[in-house]
Amino acid sequence: MVVGRKGVAITRRVAFVLAVVAAALAAVATVHAGDGKEQIRFNAADQAAARAVVIRRADLGSGWAGGPAKPDLSAGPSCPDYHPKVSDLVLTGAARTTFQRSGFEFDSQSGVLKTRRMVALDWRRSVLAPGVVPCLRRTIGSGLGPNAKVVSFKKLPFPKLATYNALFRGVISVQAQGKTVRVLTDLVLVGRSAPSSRSPSSARPAQRARSLWPSAAWPGFLIKRARA
């Protein structure tokens, strides 16, 4: 992670580092990829469900810039050994927010799939697939440019907060203004599958954090909010 309070020089360096990392992470905005895109059939109820589980400004306190952003619905990364099928999935809701402050950035995105079976299929194909870690590492690295490299990227244990839970952690080294800065980036995926009285849809919230995820309590808090 990068934290700095030593004036303009470090602030500019941090801004440059985050810009480099953000550009690379844009390529892995969604974990799933493969045979095209999900079918998009948004409805008002599931859009509201998606908005309920993204990070809000009130969750972070003062001093944070940012707010709602356009959800990234791109196909995501694809590699020779990782190309999960998504064309048979139906996305009925999506929401995203981004917030930044002093070397930290949160990028939170949620999605709602039409059925519980789709949630289970998506998780098995996209998150549990053997090729997901090397593919994500390769995709991030290819987007960093000559002054940065991926030091490590791996899947780590994560508390069981819901039906589906996963944590991927990357460490990225960046050369900026003659200094080497290391950036910690966490990709946290949390999902649940439950019947809904309002529609046949099932929530698949997936929160992502770039540079910092402060504690396992955060995804759990957002999941509880989705149930309210």
Residue listed under structure tokens 């987007």: 143
CA dist 43 to 12, 50, 75, 94, Å? Answer: 42, 11, 21, 10
**pTM for the structure as a whole:** 0.74
Token reading at 161? 């907060």
Tell me the one-letter amino acid at 79. C
- Concatenating the DSSP letter of every residue in 117-175 gives HHHHHHHHHHTS-TTHHHHHHHHHHHTT-TTEEEEEEEEE-----SSEEEEEEEEEEEE
pLDDT computed for residue 108 by the predictor: 86
- Report residue 49 as tokens: 């469900």
- pLDDT tens digits, residue range 25-75? 444 545 554 556 889 999 999 999 889 888 899 888 889 999 999 988 887
Find, among 148, 223, 198, the residue nearest to 47 by Cα. Answer: 198
Amino acid making up residue 32: H
Split at pLDDT 50, 70, 90, the class of 158 is: confident
Q: How far, in Å, CA of 75 to CA of 80, rounded? A: 15
pLDDT(221) > 60: no
Nearest to 205 by CA among 215, 192, 216: 192
For residues 158-188, one letter each, b for 16 or more C-beta atoms within 10 angstroms of the residue's C-beta and e for the rest, the string is beebbbbbbbbbbebbbbbeeeebebbbbbb
pLDDT at 128: 92
Round to whole Å and give the CA distance between 111 and 183: 27
